[in-house]
């Protein structure tokens, strides 16, 4: 089935006032870092925290009276679930939401808070979809598919309309892709308005289902991804041909690159995004040469990230940038040795946050101790200076790998 620019414009008119027209802003700092003109579309500022509000609302508004009365069912790893639940509640439509067992707690609780009946089922989205299909048949509920529905695709495509209006002519558009609804809808809108624009999907290298489908390969999957919102095992039957026709390439990004992008957006833009939401920026950082000097739009697709996950990303980022380091020192186990080391660290401006003192679990001679210091620094140069000062003071140390 073909999705047209008119479908997307009609969707924009239908959902106007029901979703947030999110800002699309130029990032001076990110542009300087990557050497391109970076414009960010803040879909993490939608009421439910992701772009899914658009497609879900457009689909629900298209239901007839009988379908509304019977209710709807949806399967989702979180963002689609929240969007369907929220807008169904607004429209007075009963909703059943099936979510995978390991969906982040934040997304589950938010979905329940919108009054939906929530069921946790299956290891991944595919198993949840099967149960949702069963409910659709047995209970006569309308299935609001997360990506393989023309009204959902058209609703997601309204993002590109807003970006073109706010940012003018873009050279490049980067969009996260799982099942393909977001990418298909926005590729349709963007290519219709700017035929010369380059469009790239971005996918976790652990879940390259769209990349494999486009290449005609059997899909292969790794461990669970931090970008669970795009960790989809099978692209949509409607979305795949659209993406094959309109998208230049789907780029893989590593988990580390996604983590770095989440942290960079937090530090530079003071905005919280989930793993999938940071995928576009991760791709620019990973493939910086491809976008150098180009006017580049990036869709920050969502911000629903669990606080423990965000906390881990922050701590791991501090370690990677050597703003949090661990140093191992061998000391004589006599009074005053530990104090001498801490004085040197303090004089150099290091902030000790933890000391682990090992006498027994060590291969050192008796009356020697192994001491591990965890400290905050200002970065690599500062950390190197602290190590040099310690060595000069008679306490050579080595880095401990994180």
Facing residues of 253 across strands? 204
**What is the side-by-side order of every strand in the sheet holding 368-376?**
351-358, 368-376, 324-332, 397-399
Can you say whether the dihedral through the CA atoms of 137, 139, 142, 146 is positive or negative? negative
Say whether 52 is catalytic. Answer: yes
**Residue 134 neighbours by CB distance under 10 Å:** 13
- Token pair, residue 109, equals 């609780």
Note whether 115 and 94 are within 8 A (CB): no
Of 52, 191, 260, 295, the active-site residue reads 52
Only one residue has tokens 């004589």, namely: 332
Torsional class of 394: left (φ above 0), alpha (ψ -120 to 50), beta (otherwise): left
- Token pair, residue 364, equals 């050192």
Give the burial class of 270: count Cβ atoms within 10 A of its Cβ; 0-12 exposed, 13-18 middle, 19 or more buried: exposed
Cβ contacts of 216 within 8 Å, gap of 6 or more: none
Torsional class of 346: left (φ above 0), alpha (ψ -120 to 50), beta (otherwise): alpha
- How far is residue 71 from each of residues 9, 154, 197, measured CA to CA in Å? 27, 22, 40
- How far apart, in whole angstroms, are the C-alpha atoms of residue 309 and residue 267? 16
**Number of C-alpha atoms within 13 angstroms, CB side, residue 333?**
13
Only one residue has tokens 């880095």, namely: 399
- Core vs surface per residue 214-246: b (16+ CB within 10 A) or e: beeeeeeeeeebbbbbbbbebbbebbbebbeeb
Catalytic positions: 52, 301
């Amino acid at each position: 089935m073909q999705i047209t620019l008119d479908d997307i414009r009609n969707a924009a008119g239908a959902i106007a006032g029901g979703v947030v027209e999110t800002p699309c802003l130029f990032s001076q700092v990110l542009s300087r870092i990557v050497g391109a003109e970076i414009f960010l579309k803040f879909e993490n500022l939608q009421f439910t925290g992701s772009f899914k509000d658009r497609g879900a609302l457009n689909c629900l508004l298209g239901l007839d009276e009988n379908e509304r009365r019977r209710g709807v069912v949806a399967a989702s790893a979180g963002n689609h679930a929240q969007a369907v639940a929220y807008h169904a509640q607004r429209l007075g439509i009963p909703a059943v939401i099936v979510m995978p067992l390991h969906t982040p707690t934040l997304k589950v609780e938010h979905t329940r808070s919108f009054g939906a009946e929530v069921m946790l089922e299956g290891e991944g989205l595919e198993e949840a979809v099967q149960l949702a299909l069963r409910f659709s048949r047995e209970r006569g509920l309308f299935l609001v598919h997360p990506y393989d529905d023309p009204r959902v695709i058209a609703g997601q495509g309204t993002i590109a309309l807003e970006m073109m209006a706010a940012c003018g002519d873009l050279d490049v558009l980067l969009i996260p892709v799982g099942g393909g609804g977001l990418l298909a809808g926005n590729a349709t809108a963007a290519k219709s308005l700017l035929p010369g624009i380059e469009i790239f999907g971005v996918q976790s290298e652990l879940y390259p289902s769209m990349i494999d489908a486009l290449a005609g390969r059997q899909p292969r999957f790794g461990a669970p991804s931090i970008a669970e919102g795009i960790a989809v095992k099978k692209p949509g039957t409607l979305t795949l041909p659209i993406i094959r026709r309109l998208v230049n390439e789907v780029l893989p990004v590593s988990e580390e690159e996604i983590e770095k992008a989440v942290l960079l957006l937090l530090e530079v833009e003071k905005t919280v995004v989930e793993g999938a939401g940071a995928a576009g920026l991760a791709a620019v950082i990973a493939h910086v040469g491809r976008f150098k000097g180009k006017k580049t739009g990036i869709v920050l697709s969502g911000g629903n990230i669990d606080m423990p996950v965000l906390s881990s990303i922050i701590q791991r980022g501090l370690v990677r940038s050597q703003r949090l380091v661990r140093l191992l020192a061998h000391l004589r186990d006599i009074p005053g040795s530990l104090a001498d080391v801490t004085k040197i660290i303090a004089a150099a401006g290091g902030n000790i946050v933890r000391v682990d003192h090992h006498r027994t679990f060590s291969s050192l001679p008796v009356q020697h101790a192994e001491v591990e210091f965890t400290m905050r620094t200002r970065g690599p140069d500062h950390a190197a200076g602290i190590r040099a000062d310690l060595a000069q003071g008679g306490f050579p140390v080595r880095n401990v790998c994180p």
